[in-house]
Amino acid sequence: MSAVSVAIGLCGYWTDYMGTVRRRCRRAQIERHRDPKSMSIATHMSSTSTVADGVLVINKEAGWTSHDIVAKIRAVLGRVKVGHAGTLDPAATGVLPVLVGRATRVSEYLVDWDKEYRAILRLGETTDTQDATGKVLARIDPSAVREEALCEAIARFRGPQRQMPPMYSAVKVGGRPLYKAARAGETVDRAERTIVIHALDILAVEGRDVTLNVVCSKGTYIRTLCADIGQALGVGGHLYALERRRVGPLSIDHALTVAQAEAQAAIGTLQRHLIGLDHVLDQLPVLALTEDQVRLALHGGAVSPAGMERLPASTEPVSVRLQNQAGRLLAIGIHDARTAGPIKIRKVLTEIESLD
């Protein structure tokens, strides 16, 4: 086959594909005009496909809160539960895991994931919020800071750390979020928390701005890290810009913007971008149930499947994925090796009617 024939064939395929997209969009517009109450993409989407349970990786833009993103995706999907795991500040960008359907029930297993950030530390300015949105409290010329001193300071912040949560944060003390106290001009006594900085590397230095790559444990405040590094250098500093590159296995390379998610929904292909629950939870050990055990587990009954003796030894209860013989995820159970008892059902993730 000649190159010309291949090109003609590809052009024909693309023309047919775009024609299909245009026809689907026209049908969606017609349906919205017929029913003024159904003005969202969700009307068209529900008529072409069923959205599965899973995690949608969204690339959050600056200026939107995490709740804004959830609201936008909920508007796209219609009558589907939507949540998120791992809040991003409004000024930050990057990976926000959006939980769809039954995935909203497993957020507790996602928040323990480590995270990777691209952060810009601006030296010489201390702000009340520790980031660029706050009021500048002090300015010191950072030009005297040498590369050797910067590298030495950075090295001190690698590994396990004790970090003080910032006043402008959602951490609650006495049931009250710290940011509410901060806005009222109050300073609240708060306890330091243990975090781990797995990796902290300098990517670039441009004048007073230092670009960092940070891999850290949950609960780490990057703006506090930047402020602490600035303080260690004696010139102060704050977080000037932040992009989250990764949450656990969820990378920005596979993330969609809200606009891209809306476009995928418009042609009925958004569900292709959902990461299934079994894959999201693959860090948990898995056991297969017999047919009798399946029905017992889906009604909340404890089970003792084969292979329990191979579960990881632990002094704490271990979460376990429970599947049927076909490999379908059914539930999450809790195994306590100290009692040598059956696995108790923690969360049921499949309706028994769907197996019949």
3-state helix, strand, coil in the chain (%, to 5): 35, 30, 35
| Beta carbons of 224 and 129 less than 8 angstroms apart | no
Residue indicated by tokens 């349906």: 31
Distances, alpha carbon 255 to alpha carbons 75, 86, 283, in Å: 19, 15, 21
What CA–CA distances, in Å, run from 12 to 16, 23, 267, 321? 6, 16, 19, 46
- Read off the tokens for 299: 């009604």
Instruction: Output the CA angle 212-108-243, nearest 5 degrees.
Output: 20
Pairing of strands 159-163, 115-123: unpaired
Contact 333, 303 (CB under 8 A): yes
Token pair for 163: 């970090």
Residue with tokens 């049927």: 324
For β-strands 318-323 and 286-288, DSSP reports them as parallel
What are the residue numbers of the active site? 89
